[in-house]
Structure 1
Amino acid sequence: MVRKQWGKSAVSLMLIAGLVLGGCSSGSGSKEAAPEGSAATEVKKEGFPIVEEPVQLKMFTRIAPVNGTFKEMPVFQDYEQMSNVKVEFIEAPTDGFQEKKNLLFASNELPDALYRSSLSPLEAVRYGAGGQLIPLEGLIEEYAPNLTQLMEEYPEIRAAITTPEGHIYAIPGIVTLGSARTDKKWINTAWLEKLNLDMPETTDELYDVLVAFRDQDPNGNGQKDEIPMTARLGLHIVTMMSGSFGLDQQLGYNINIEDDKVEIWMGSERNKEMLMYLNKLYTEKLLDPEVFSHTEAQYLAKQGSGQTGVFFDQTNNNFLPIADQYEGMSPPAGPHGDRMQAQASPMPRDFGAFAITSVNNYPEVTMRWIDYFYSDEGSTLLRFGREGEHYELKDGIPYYKEAYSTSETQPKITPYAGGGAPHLISEQVASYINPPQVQEAQKKLDPFMPEVRYAAPMFDEQTAQQVNILRNDIDKYYEEQSTKFIAGALSFDKWGEFQETLKKMKIDELQQLYQDAYDKMEK
């Protein structure tokens, strides 16, 4: 029964892609095992300091272009005084970060821990089974009360990070705040009001609104420079519109489940309808011509330009100066009456945010050190810095002071900026990303979220390898062909050939692997 509850309550769990591990064991030791040579240091299980005698740790981390150096951030300065644990960060820039991480493990020149290092499920399994990362489940149970409480309250977190052999080699960032797991559908209501248009409730009405945005000069400058609708690079637009065509994202993939039958919908007629709709928008210049070429920075700039009618993003940070022009809208009902918000990030949103290596002499200290950030108190320090200097409390909720509320100053004081930090994002600490406008936009999505969100299966290593091989080819082909269908570079007369190619790529075999996993989940 518990397994069924995990599957039905999880938002979307990470898929572990398998790797042949050449006879390596499934872990570097028992749950309670510490690395050889572990220092005999008494660790307090509650309160601060964590240790009476100072301990120094080295952590490898990614530093985003917007960040300042970690050692100058108030969170790490103050937490060192609180905990008696001094951390030396080995900072690697985002550009080239993956290569540096690969070299770290290949050379076996390991730090004590990896912080905000975006370990993939594959990397966690590989380096854990190979003995370079240690299993954390025993340390979590004994030295991480905050993380343990979260995993007890939300069982999908444990399921998302536990290997089939029962080990946890990396812990994620955790997002309990619902509005931090969805991209809202923002629409320019100032334009709607100027053109005397109603909020669109169907895909046909959305089309009509976009035509008016294109043709009726809603910004009033006498030029056709409006962008009716845009989205992030790639197939973000497909993800955001799929629910209107009855296409869900179950089991962490492009999957519908009906009457206990798993369907990968990439070659379905419903998907064809969606792509034809998007092709119509693109051809008529209702969908941004740069949707497959612009950069993330350019996309964010379009949000704040006031020149865009509809776009999609988690929060309103990127258009705050003109925020009063926009509201969130509900998913539009599609041609068959489908109206669903299929897109949602998992609660353990940033897999592999933190891991402890086998050279660490203080694994218990390290686990207690990181656990603080899975509390509201620790997360507040990480995200907001010092009360009175960097933020102030209003009704118990921290808000940045004006000097630290800009996109230039805020990233200098917190590793949250740039994404992927191991910590808790709850309603308590989310004032920056969850203001009232965002909360209202989330309410427009809530009635259309699926009643059941099945977890991505935790495949065994052999099955994971099969899934990984199949998906590498199928996913690449689907993205390439879908882009061509939308952009008009590939005629829908070729849809049959597209379906046949998916079959030759063994999409039916992939579907059966997911079906088998679903059947086991439901036992």
Structure 2
Amino acid sequence: MSKTKKGSRVTALVLSLAMLSTFAIGCDKTDNQAQSSGGTTSQSTSSQDASQTESTLNPNINLDSTFPVVKDPVEVEIAVIAALPNTDQNRMWFWKWAEKKTNVTVEPVQIESSAWEERKQLMFATDQLPDAFLHCTFTNAELLSFGQIEGSLIALNDYLDYAPNFKAALEADPLLKANVTAPDGNIYSVPTVMQVSNTKPYRFFVNADWLEKAGMDMPKNLDEFYKVLKYFKENDMNGNGDPNDEIPWSGSWEEGYYERALIINAMGFSTTNSNSVIDPETDTAVYFPLHPKYRDYLKYMNKLWEEGLLDPDIFTQTQVQYQAKAASNLIGAAADSASYIIYPEDYTAFEPIWALSETEGGTPTWPQDAVSSNGSFVITKNAKNPDVLMKWVDMFFTAEGAIRFWNGPEKDSEDDIGSVGAMYNENGQRYHDLPQDINNEWEYNCKVLSPINGRAVGYYSNDAFWTELGLSIPPAAENDAFWQDLYLERNTPYAKPMYPNVFYSEDEQRTINEISMPLEDYVKNMEAKFIIGAESIDSGYDKFIQQIKVLRAEEYQDILISAYETYKSNK
């Protein structure tokens, strides 16, 4: 590319970046930390250690086993989000099965996914609340606002004796306890518990066909990664006769899967995208742009840009535009959700990268999901039977509850109410007899089997649960099993906790709301300028640090530190 064309592209990029109004770096799509909140006025006097003697517990509740929940029938109203349009909760197998197993009749209140945020605010503002919300999304900030401050959500501490499986999970894992405990010591939601083998928060793939053609191994540190990209750039890797159309590293900075995280993790800071990280040497919270390693990160990325190893459109193209390049076999490496998404023609063409270290012989780092995702099940002040609801939700912490919610019944089994169960093909994979109005297995799961909304309270189904129920473990689809097995080998062993989804105090949250947007908008804009060379790192970095301090970055970091220390003290 001529200097004139390169200069024009840089100018265009700078203009595009200046128009960006939202900041995604500190607002990880799977990270609610910037929305977390706290408060000082408690609406409950319950403590984490509160418990009830058996004589004071509700005699209608079965305390001897998971099922049934109650001896005499009870009716409750639970709000759920429809994962897909045109869903009819009355068609759902799960509600029928749960009523048979628990003796609790649930009247589901369906909320369309697109209307959830508006409906949520309206329901709480007008006090038009169901007994509980299942698999709806509540940030930590909302849990504190609706719970601790307003009292619309009840504290669950005094009901833990009705949920022995959830209580046991809290006692077994100090991190889980810390994650769900609010600043006032109360628990306002039953979470989704993340299991390492089931979660893959960050995925980055390298073109294995190109590596084989180059005679190179999958890189394991930043220098090896650079050399791989360099080779991809300088050779006709796709064999189309044009040695100049290869794009070593592509993606969509705005819409994609957090390309920058690969390099930040290699430097020891576990993250999927957020600038709120944990210093691996001190176990202290850090705002990454204030750390000296941030400059090293910028220098490395700028080197890739200057040598043409980054897609020149990476800051401006959409996910669809990047994937069109990938489908044309032009891409050497990218972050994405699965190998077959990058190159649909051959799902084995791209393989998960090894977790990288900064230097040869260094310690690799990969992000590990938070131990839990809060807000998956909450009970409101309008509930007449909160004890029954706690006992009911406890089934999701058992093998039977998790497997049945996520996978439904087997065909013609005693649980197969309505003949909707799964059959097995010759490869041991489950499949269903799809009705005419259902197009695929995922739609069947969401519209016929269970009110799945991409998350579930309690545990996900896992291999141990299948075995516990005496069922064959269904294999993953071949295209998923290919990359997932490699991921578990190359990434999972090096997973380290990210900055957790902490609760902030009310004052801390107020300050974060004031600081975060202008600070992180500025950081994002300047980061892109440093990478593409529109701003010199050598001459402009000190000025950048001065400016983020003016924008109260140090105060922001102090809040991260304080909240993280509180989180650790709750273990």
TM-score by length of 1: 0.80
- Closer/same/farther in 2, CA of residues 436 and 93 from structure 1, 3 Å limit: same
Matching residue's letter, 1:43: I
Match of 2:152 among 132, 141, 145: 132
Q: Which moved more, 1:413-422 or 1:371-380?
A: 413-422
Residue 241 of structure 1 aligns to a residue whose secondary structure is: helix
- Closer/same/farther in 2, CA of residues 439 and 481 from structure 1, 3 Å limit: same
Residue 301 of structure 2 aligns to a residue whose secondary structure is: helix
Residue 129 of structure 2 aligns to a residue whose secondary structure is: coil
Residue 228 of structure 1: aligned partner: 248
Matching residue's letter, 1:272: R
Q: Which moved more, 1:374-383 or 1:482-491?
A: 482-491
Say which structure, 1 or 2, has more relative contact order (CA 8 Å, 6+ apart). Answer: 1
- Maintained 8 Å contact 2:137/2:375: yes
Matched, 1:238 2:284: no
Structure-1 separation of matches of 2:153 and 2:384: 13
Q: Which moved more, 1:225-234 or 1:365-374?
A: 225-234
Matched, 1:480 2:525: yes
Deviations 1:318-352 (A, max 9, x none): 4687332233222333358754324222020x221
Residue 386 of structure 1: aligned partner: 409
Residue 49 of structure 1 aligns to a residue whose secondary structure is: coil
Match of 1:504 among 527, 540, 550: 550
**RMSD (Å), alpha carbons:** 4.0
- Maintained 8 Å contact 2:340/2:348: no
- Maintained 8 Å contact 1:112/1:357: yes
- Maintained 8 Å contact 1:175/1:424: yes
Residue 123 of structure 1 aligns to a residue whose secondary structure is: helix
Residue 333 of structure 1: aligned partner: 357
- Closer/same/farther in 2, CA of residues 307 and 382 from structure 1, 3 Å limit: farther
- Maintained 8 Å contact 1:246/1:338: no
Q: Which moved more, 1:201-210 or 1:428-437?
A: 428-437
- Closer/same/farther in 2, CA of residues 448 and 66 from structure 1, 3 Å limit: farther
After TM superposition, give the deviation of residue 237 of structure 1 in Å: 1.8
- Closer/same/farther in 2, CA of residues 25 and 390 from structure 1, 3 Å limit: same
Structure 1 unmatched runs, 5+: 1-11, 35-39
After TM superposition, give the deviation of residue 204 of structure 1 in Å: 2.9
Q: Which moved more, 1:170-179 or 1:429-438?
A: 429-438
Residue 286 of structure 1: aligned partner: 309
- Closer/same/farther in 2, CA of residues 407 and 100 from structure 1, 3 Å limit: same
Matched, 1:420 2:440: no
- Maintained 8 Å contact 1:124/1:133: yes
- Maintained 8 Å contact 1:245/1:334: yes
Match of 2:431 among 392, 401, 404: 401
- Maintained 8 Å contact 1:14/1:252: no
Structure 2 unmatched runs, 5+: 1-30, 53-57, 412-419, 435-439, 466-473
Structure-1 separation of matches of 2:133 and 2:521: 30
Match of 1:345 among 369, 374, 380: 369
- Maintained 8 Å contact 1:328/1:440: yes
Structure-1 separation of matches of 2:86 and 2:456: 12
After TM superposition, give the deviation of residue 468 of structure 1 in Å: 4.7
Residue 386 of structure 1 aligns to a residue whose secondary structure is: coil
Residue 18 of structure 1 aligns to a residue whose secondary structure is: coil
Structure-2 separation of matches of 1:417 and 1:316: 25
Residue 352 of structure 1 aligns to a residue whose secondary structure is: strand
Deviations 1:67-94 (A, max 9, x none): 8444433333322322233333333333
Give 1:239-318 correspondences, 5 Å limit: 239-249=261-271, 253-259=276-282, 263-282=286-305, 286-289=309-312, 291-293=314-316, 308-313=331-336, 318=341
Residue 367 of structure 2 aligns to a residue whose secondary structure is: coil
Residue 347 of structure 2: aligned partner: 323
TM-score by length of 2: 0.74
Residue 375 of structure 1: aligned partner: 398
Structure-1 separation of matches of 2:296 and 2:512: 27
Matching residue's letter, 1:26: Q
- Maintained 8 Å contact 1:115/1:355: yes
Matching residue's letter, 2:460: I
Residue 105 of structure 1: aligned partner: 124
Structure-1 separation of matches of 2:309 and 2:451: 35
Residue 503 of structure 1 aligns to a residue whose secondary structure is: helix
Aligned length: 500
After TM superposition, give the deviation of residue 159 of structure 1 in Å: 1.0
- Closer/same/farther in 2, CA of residues 86 and 518 from structure 1, 3 Å limit: closer
Structure-1 separation of matches of 2:452 and 2:235: 39
Deviations 1:188-216 (A, max 9, x none): 21221133322223323323322443453
After TM superposition, give the deviation of residue 354 of structure 1 in Å: 1.2
Matching residue's letter, 2:456: A
Residue 79 of structure 1: aligned partner: 98
Matching residue's letter, 2:431: K
After TM superposition, give the deviation of residue 28 of structure 1 in Å: 8.0
- Report % sequence identity: 25
Residue 114 of structure 2 aligns to a residue whose secondary structure is: coil
Structure-1 separation of matches of 2:124 and 2:503: 24
- Closer/same/farther in 2, CA of residues 369 and 272 from structure 1, 3 Å limit: same
Residue 368 of structure 2 aligns to a residue whose secondary structure is: coil
Matching residue's letter, 1:42: N
Residue 105 of structure 2 aligns to a residue whose secondary structure is: strand
- Closer/same/farther in 2, CA of residues 510 and 385 from structure 1, 3 Å limit: same
- Maintained 8 Å contact 1:256/1:262: yes
Match of 2:491 among 427, 445, 452: 445
Residue 5 of structure 1: aligned partner: none
Deviations 1:27-77 (A, max 9, x none): 38788899xxxxx88222324332344433322232334784444333333
